[in-house]
Amino acid sequence: MSTKAPNPVDKYVGSRVRMRRIMLGMSQEKLGDALGLTFQQVQKYEKGTNRVGASRLQQIAEVLQVPVSFMFEGIPSSNAQGLTEAPSPGYVSDFLATSEGLALTRAFTRITDSKLRRSIVDLVEQIVAQKTGD
């Protein structure tokens, strides 16, 4: 018996649910409680293992305080073979889906001094170059 791989659209929508939930500092359990679900069901939605129906997606969007369209923003265009290139690299959404990525992004965007922001980017690039030997 083979297991079916999650649909790329379901995975993408799930990652957007996860990203927004983390942005709000909300646990899977708290989101599940608000939706009348277990945290395991929320987990399955976030991984794309289970599809989110239209009415459930509307509920999730309301709890997460975003329009339903938020769940599809930046979705890669599709073709006959499934999803193709996203407007931004996948590592960006993967990074933003982590608590560290969101914390860093929130803090960085609050820095109003553009020269300081540039210096931080330069510092991080230097650290990476030293670690990778570039």
Distances (CA, A) of 78 to 47, 82, 83, 84, 85: 19, 5, 4, 6, 9
Q: Are 87 and 75 in contact (CB under 8 A)?
A: no
The domains found in the chain, sorted by start residue, are 1-89 (1.10.260.40), 98-134 (no CATH)
The answer to whether the predicted template modeling score (pTM) of the entire model surpasses 0.75 is no
Express each pLDDT in 4-44 by its tens digit.
788 889 988 998 999 889 888 899 999 999 999 999 999 99
Looking at the DSSP bridge assignments, the partners of residue 82 are 79
Of 92, 97, 105, 78, nearest to 9 by C-alpha is: 78
The pLDDT of residue 98 is 80
| Strand (E) or helix (H) holding 51 | none
Express each pLDDT in 42-86 by its tens digit.
999 998 999 999 999 999 999 999 999 989 988 876 643 444 444
Express each pLDDT in 91-117 by its tens digit.
776 777 788 888 888 888 888 888 998
Give the Cβ contact number of residue 13 at 10 Å: 23
**For residue 133, what are the contacts with CB-CB under 8 A and spacing of at least 6?**
none
